[in-house]
Amino acid sequence: MAVNCNVRELALEVLAAVEKEHFKFNDTLHTQLMKYQYLKKQDRAFLTRLCEGVMEYKLRLDYVIDKISNTPIHKCKPLIRCILRMGAYQILFMDSVPDSAACNEAVKLAKKRGFSGLSGFVNGVLRNLAKEKESISYPDRQKYPEKYLSIYYSIPEWIIGQWVSQYGLENAEIMAMDTVSRRPLTVRINQCITDIKSLSSEWEKEGIVSRRLPLNEAAKKALGDKVFDELMDTAFYLEGIDYLNIYDSFLKGMYTVQDAGAMISGIIFKQVAGYDKEDILALDMCAAPGGKTAFAAEILGKRGRVIARDVAKAKVDKLKETVERLNLTNVVCEVRDALDASDELFGNVDVVLLDAPCSGLGVLGRKKDICYEINEQQIEQLILLQRDMLKISLEYVKTGGYLIYSTCTVNKRENCDNIDWILNEHREFQKYYEAQLLPGVMPMDGSYIACLRKERSK
**Residue 300 belongs to domain with CATH number:** 3.40.50.150
CB-based burial label for 231 (10 Å; 0-12, 13-18, 19+): buried
- DSSP class of residue 344 equals G
Residues 91, 158, single domain; the answer is: no
Provide the CATH number for the domain around residue 31: 1.10.940.10
In a domain, 113, yes or no: yes
Residues 84, 162, single domain; the answer is: no
In a domain, 60, yes or no: yes
Residues 356, 422, single domain; the answer is: yes
Q: What is the reported pLDDT for 5?
A: 61
CB 36 within 8 A of CB 10: yes
Residues 95, 162, single domain; the answer is: no
Exposure string over 62-94, b if 16+ CB within 10 A, otherwise e: bbbbeebbeeebeebeebbbbbbbbbbbbbbbb
Compute the distance between CA of residue 397 and CA of residue 392 in angstroms, rounded to an integer. 10
Q: What is the reported pLDDT for 2?
A: 36
In a domain, 54, yes or no: yes
User: Do strands 447-454 and 429-437 pair parallel, antiparallel, or not at all (unpaired)?
Assistant: antiparallel
What is the total count of domains within the chain?
A: 3
Residues 291, 351, single domain; the answer is: yes
In sequence order, what DSSP letters do the residues of 238-294 get, joined into one string? EES-S-GGG-HHHHTTSEEE--HHHHHHHHHHHHHH-SS--SEEEEESS-TT-HHHH
CB 293 within 8 A of CB 266: no
In a domain, 184, yes or no: no
Residue (of 332, 323, 330) closest to 303 by Cα position: 330
Q: What is the reported pLDDT for 184?
A: 87
In a domain, 225, yes or no: no
In a domain, 118, yes or no: yes
Residues 447, 342, single domain; the answer is: yes
186 three-class SS = strand
Q: How are the residues of the chain apportioned to helix, strand and coil, as percentages rounded to the nearest 5?
A: 55, 15, 30
In sequence order, what DSSP letters do the residues of 95-164 get, joined into one string? TTS-HHHHHHHHHHHHHHTT-GGGHHHHHHHHHHHHHHGGG-----TTT-HHHHHHHHTT--HHHHHHHH
In a domain, 239, yes or no: no
Residues 165, 125, single domain; the answer is: no
Residues in the chain, how many?
458
Residues 168, 290, single domain; the answer is: no
Residues 407, 430, single domain; the answer is: yes
Q: What is the reported pLDDT for 243?
A: 79
Q: How much is the CA Rg of the chain, to the nearest whole Å?
A: 24
Residues 275, 323, single domain; the answer is: yes
Residue (of 229, 186, 193, 194) closest to 211 by Cα position: 186
- The pTM score is 0.94
**pLDDT tens for each residue of the chain, 458 residues long:** 333 469 999 999 999 999 999 999 999 999 999 999 889 989 999 999 999 999 999 999 999 999 999 999 999 999 999 999 999 999 999 999 999 999 999 999 999 999 999 999 999 999 999 999 999 999 999 999 999 999 999 999 999 999 999 999 999 999 999 999 988 899 999 888 899 999 999 999 999 999 998 889 999 999 999 999 999 989 999 987 877 889 999 999 999 999 999 999 999 999 999 777 889 999 999 999 999 999 999 999 999 999 999 999 999 999 999 999 998 999 999 999 999 999 999 999 999 999 999 999 999 999 999 999 999 999 999 999 999 999 999 999 999 999 999 999 999 999 999 999 999 999 999 999 999 999 999 999 999 999 999 999 87
Residues 316, 357, single domain; the answer is: yes
Q: Which range of residues forms the domain containing residue 131?
A: 7-135
Q: What is the reported pLDDT for 192?
A: 81
In a domain, 431, yes or no: yes
Residues 390, 411, single domain; the answer is: yes
CB 363 within 8 A of CB 260: no
